[in-house]
Amino acid sequence: MRVAVFSTKPYDRTFLSRAAAGYGHDLTFFEPRLDRTTARLAEGFPAVCAFVNDTLDAEVIDALAAGGTRIVALRAAGFNNVALEAAEEKGVTVLRVPAYSPHAVAEFSVGLLLALDRRIHRAWARVRENNFALEGLLGHDLHGRTVGIVGTGRIGALVARTYRLGFGCEVVAHDRYEVDDLKAIGVTYVGREELMERSDIISLHCPLTPETHYLIDEAAIARAKHGFVLINTSRGALINAEAVIGGLKSGRIGGVALDVYEQEADLFFEDLSSEIIQDDVFQRLLTFPNVLITGHQAFFTEEALLAIAKTTMGNIADEEAGKVSPNRVLSEKVAGKG
């Protein structure tokens, strides 16, 4: 099948081309993001491969369908950037990669906390200038601290296990579905409010839905344990960034480590080192010494990229063969009919 691949970088070409060879797909790579101005590039392609920061709203879906596209294959797990009902109406099948390498994101999440709490990033910068002073680098033991995990799917469960078994933390979790294996090792499921009140560290691993949008807002921060540390490697809009800035200024939040940001589509995956960034909220976050931000790289391992590529190309092949893929994404309205 002919596939238009958007938001491509050199590593995308490498791994997707390798995976496509096994299925006979013909890939055409486009560097620009998919949005209303670039959707016309997909004209004549029955399949489109999109990434997390591509825009697939109703207008883009209409344009893709008008150009002959009937498959949108997301090379990501999240699908909050897709107008699913519009896709259903236009007969466009949306496919995703629900699980590629949960270890990649889980390990990075824990790594972010360690770097932030032990000031590893600041120590590295100091040593490069021959400054070996320890003042300002004081951290905390993880052992015995309480970690709150919001979302215990594949990634969240791995993070919970790491903190519980690897560091000897008390772990509390919140999810609509409880995992018995986690409860067996001493993870306690609690309500969202109790998790905020008890946790020294809060790590977010839930999808972005209307229910979880701005999960961390002013009210949640006010309810939380004073000086808590916030980690987010899931979706940027789980956090109200302006509320987080207020919490950092007041000291209510003791530290923040982010690999995602609500307005990241205009920032991440690009080299903007010679440009003036216009996002004042993002720039304000960067001024805090207890904030660590990375550019959506938690997924970025060789194993994960290979798994994403294989699943994405396999999804397209299954759809082409008329198979009902378990990786189809349905709108709530359509899914509810089942």
Q: Is 194 a catalytic residue?
A: no
CA atoms of 206 and 189, how far apart (whole Å): 15
- Given the residues 174, 198, 296, 319, the one annotated as active site: 296
Q: What are phi and psi of 4, to 5 degrees?
A: -95, 120
* Residue 322 backbone zone (phi > 0: left; psi -120 to 50: alpha; other: beta): left
Q: Report the pLDDT value the prediction gives residue 338, as an integer from 0 to 100.
A: 35
Tokens of 157: 């469960």
CB 158 within 8 A of CB 106: yes
* 42, 67 contact by CB (below 8 A): yes
Catalytic residue among 33, 198, 235, 252: 235
pLDDT at 336: 44
Q: Are strands 291-293 and 228-232 parallel, antiparallel or unpaired?
A: unpaired
Q: Which two tokens stand for residue 119?
A: 């000031």
pLDDT above 80 for 266 = yes
Q: Which of 66-80, 176-190, 223-237, 317-331 has the lowest mean pLDDT?
A: 317-331
Tens digit of pLDDT for each residue in 35-53?
999 999 999 999 999 999 9
- pLDDT band (50, 70, 90) for residue 195: very high
Evaluate if residue 239 carries a pLDDT over 90: yes
> For the chain, what percent of residues have pLDDT higher than 90?
91
Instruction: State pLDDT tens for residues 51-74.
Output: 999 999 999 999 999 999 999 999
Residue 128 in this model has a pLDDT that exceeds 60: yes
Among 25, 33, 161, 264, the active-site one is: 264
Could you confirm whether 235 is annotated as catalytic? Answer: yes
Query: Is the model's pLDDT at 105 over the cut of 50?
Result: yes
Indicate the DSSP class of residue 40.
G
Quote the pLDDT of residue 337.
Answer: 40
The model carries a pTM of 0.90
**Can you give the pLDDT at residue 80?**
87
User: What is residue 101's predicted lDDT score, i.e. its pLDDT?
Assistant: 85
- Confidence class of residue 332 from pLDDT cuts 50, 70 and 90? low
Dihedral of CA 250/253/259/263: which sign? negative
Task: Look at residue 335 and tell me whether its pLDDT is greater than 70.
Answer: no
Task: Provide the pLDDT for residue 326.
Answer: 87
Known active-site residue 205:
no
